[in-house]
Amino acid sequence: MHEFSAACSIVETVVEAARSHDVKRVKAVNIEVGEFTFLLPEQLRFNFEIASQKTIAEGAELNIRMVKGRLICRDCGHEGEAQSPDEALGPAAMFAPMKCTKCGSSATTITGGKEFLIADIEAEVAAPVEKQRPKPKPH
Ligand SMILES: [Zn+2]
């Protein structure tokens, strides 16, 4: 359950952030997911719904931005977007060496596409910060 553990870690982070910011309701969570995480957006959304039940994140919208994978070739030095892994291979593609799109060498290093992070959380706060800290009256 790759997506479920990923969804749980999102919920954990959101709940923690919500707690320290006096959040009343989480409206949306924007995340960035690299191609090489092999997380499926629809599975992620579905698991997020389950994992967020009975938490402050319940009902929040999960917006996923996919980040293309990038490779650098140790043979020819070419750096660029990785070719999408074979869909039929599925998660097994994670272990297959990615080939350089220029020379076809397998001596490649992944330089991007492994990100899995929360970019932004949209939430309603209980009390706006401005009201908590009134400006001192000028003398
Ligand atoms: Zn190459």
Structural domain boundaries of the chain?
Answer: 2-127
**What is the Å distance from ligand 1's center to 88 Cα?**
24
What pLDDT, in 10s, does the model give residues 97-107? Answer: 788 989 999 99
Specify whether the CB–CB gap between 56 and 125 falls below 8 A. no
What tokens appear for 30 in the block?
């924007």
What residue type is 105 in one-letter code? S
Q: What number of other Cβ atoms are within 10 A of residue 122's Cβ?
A: 13
What pLDDT, in 10s, does the model give residues 78-95? Answer: 999 987 656 666 666 556
pLDDT at position 126 is 77
CATH 3.40.50.300 for domain 2-127: no
**What is the Å distance from ligand 1's center to 8 Cα?**
38
Q: How far apart are CA 85 and CA 92, in angstroms?
A: 10
Alpha carbons within 13 angstroms on the beta-carbon side of residue 121 total 24
Which stretches of the chain drop beneath a pLDDT of 50?
Answer: none
**What is the Å distance from ligand 1's center to 86 Cα?**
19
